[in-house]
Amino acid sequence: MRPNLLKQKFRAGEPIVNAWLSIPSSYAAEVVASQGFDSVTVDLQHGMIGFDSAVGMLQAISITSATPLVRSPSRDTAQIMRLLDAGAYGVICPSIDTPEMAAEFVRACRYPGAGTRSFGPARGVLYGGADYFSHANDEIMAFAMIESQQALDNLEAILATPGLDGVYIGPNDLALSLGAIPSAQPDDVVERAISDILGQTLRRGLLAGIFCSDGDMARRRVEQGFHLVTPGNDANALAVASSSRVLAARGGKLAVQGNGY
């Protein structure tokens, strides 16, 4: 089976820079994945992406060296299994608040006798290789999103879930759960929670990932000890690049904005 390069980088202690896709476009996915990212995540929870679009995006990522990941839309096991069958090499699952949720999620990512994943890896075999079934349980990665007070309360038990590869922090939902306002620069209560999650994850020897507002924040998170960082998403990058070009073309003057978004 094709090795999971993300897992290899984690074991080697190398920082992992992960791209995040929210726009349903295989061409955009191919462009982003060709920029040198270690992994690329197709976001089916908050991205404007359905399963059909996700398949084409995973195909586009697969012609590059980046490891294809997905954020599942929910903990629904059928959807998680289908995304793995489509060729995802790792799943980031939202709203893992209890050890029972974590165990159910991990089982969906593993074939019996480590889990309950149903057999039918259609594209998984095309991408992973003819021996996919024999090695998938060892190569596919399962990441639980920690983004609530309840998850913080149950963190030790969640991290003890057999087969869990790591956690991924959603700072904005975590902020909301802690009574704070989502921000590119999390306030103190959120930062304390992030530090606690990171410390417990590192002590368990699991991978720690986090979504970041931009490249500078991502670098700071790597220096803090995170293994995997996501420096924003494709929509944000497109908006920032476009606005900077408009600004440059107008000699540094902002256009008057009308009503709308």
Q: Which residues are catalytic?
A: 46
Rounded to 5 degrees, φ, ψ at 98 are -135, 160
Residue (of 213, 235, 217, 234) closest to 226 by Cα position: 217
Closest alpha carbon to 129 in 137, 121, 118: 121
Give the helix/strand (H/E) hosting 141. Answer: strand 141-146
Distance of CA 179 to CAs 4, 114, 148, Å?
38, 38, 10
In sequence order, the 6+-apart residues with CB closer than 8 A to the CB of 226 are: 198, 208, 209, 210
Question: Helix, strand, coil % (nearest 5) of the chain?
Answer: 45, 15, 40
Helix/strand/coil for 164: coil
